[in-house]
Amino acid sequence: MKTYILDIQKMSTEDGPGIRTTVFFKGCNLKCKWCQNPESIPFYRQKYWIKDKCMGCLSCLECPQKAISFDEDGLKFEERLCNFCLWCAEQCPTNAIEVKGREIEISELVNELLKDKVFYEKSGGGVTLSGGEAALHWEYAYELMDELKKRGIHTALDTAGCYPYKILQKLLEKTDLLLYDIKHIDNEKHKEFTDVENTLILQNAKRVGSLEKPEVWVRTPIIPDSTDSEENIKGIGKFIKENMPNITKWELVTFNNLCKNKYQLLNRDWGYENKELIQKEKIEKLWALAKKYHKNAVWSGATKLEV
């Protein structure tokens, strides 16, 4: 079985315990305005032109489908004509044309993930399935985690939970740790910021939050002017306290803007490009608030340097 994988990130320490490899699946059914991985949203492969690497040789204009042109803004792909032969990327002398997303067989991916088994074992780590939304590739994700568990590797699933519960229920059979996102408690704001309502996400949250197994952590991204209000943290805290008695951690994860060049490559404006990192004082205030609702509330991520 194959599916599109965006990236395999080794030595990750942010997506569960220990040293992990995080597998980023392609495709997501949310469109968070602050998304740190915009290239993970489409389910298909994409080509990017990296302006800074291009030496202007124009040899890519020989595209067999005549799907490439140049104008004053640089290289343009005519996607309607492109058949994704990838000739342009292969022959570009400076690797200025990159392809995001690759179809990978489960057996190939397992072999790649096993290369770091010694690090997982020594650190109490494992493999995390993320995205995009890994759960939307449920057959592949199930089989991948099954293969990993047969080899004694700890599995984590990072999800936004916006799909029918029976999918999640099936995946939980092979999941050791569920990282469950709750971004905004207010339904209208959730829709405004992510393009979907939070109704299904909160329904599924209630179900996973009452399970004995697997272990569940809730994660809330702290995004400036979007999710970082005291009202939102109080609302999520109250929801967790009343409906998710078995979660073992609530993690507030601060915003960073390291992905702004990804938006530039996609030729897309990003409303968060000029947003500053959260101040330490602010995240500590939100953390103190969160601790009133869950004894193991923590925060992680970057904060603004104070001078």
Give the nearest distance from C-beta 7 to ligand SF4 in angstroms: 20
Looking at the Cβ atoms of 67 and 127, the one nearer to ligand SF4 is 67
Amino acid found at 182: I
Nearer to ligand SF4, 14 or 90 (CB): 90
Query: Smallest distance, Å, CB 221 to ligand SF4?
Result: 34
By beta-carbon proximity to ligand SF4, the closer residue of 1 and 57 is: 57
Minimum distance from residue 101 beta carbon to ligand SF4 (Å): 13
Residues 6+ apart with CB under 8 A from 166: none
HEC-encoded secondary structure of the chain:
CEEEEEEEEEEECCCCCCCEEEEEECCCCCCCCCCCCHHHCCCCCEEEECHHHCCCCCHHHHCCCCCEEEECCEEEECCCCCCCCCHHHHHCCCCCEEEECEEEEHHHHHHHHHCCHHHHHHHCCEEEEECCCHHHHHHHHHHHHHHHHHCCCEEEEEECCCCCHHHHHHHHCCCCEEEEECCCCCHHHHHHHHCCCCHHHHHHHHHHCCCCCCEEEEEEEECCCCCCCHHHHHHHHHHHHHHCCCCCEEEEEECCCCCHHHHHHCCCCCCCCCCCCCEHHHHHHHHHHHHCCCCCEEEECCCECCC
Q: Which is nearer to ligand SF4, 52 or 269 (CB)?
A: 52
User: Based on CB atoms, which residue is closest to ligand SF4, 50 or 259?
Assistant: 50
Q: How far is the CB of 236 from ligand SF4 (least distance, A)?
A: 44
How many residues in the chain? 307
Q: Minimal distance in Å, beta carbon 177 to ligand SF4?
A: 39
**Identity of the residue, 88 or 182, whose beta carbon is nearer to ligand SF4 in the bound complex:** 88
Pairwise CA distance, residues 35 & 255, whole Å: 10
* Rounded least distance, CB 68 to ligand SF4, Å: 5
Q: Which residues bind ligand SF4 (CB under 6 A)?
A: 54-60, 63, 65, 67-68, 75, 77, 82-88, 92-94, 96-97
Give me the least distance between CB of 29 and ligand SF4, in Å please: 27
Beta bridge partners of 297: 250
Provide, rounded to whole angstroms, the least separation between the CB of residue 131 and ligand SF4: 24
Instruction: For residue 93, give every residue at least 6 positions away whose Cβ sits within 8 Å of its Cβ, in sequence order, or none.
Output: 55, 57, 59
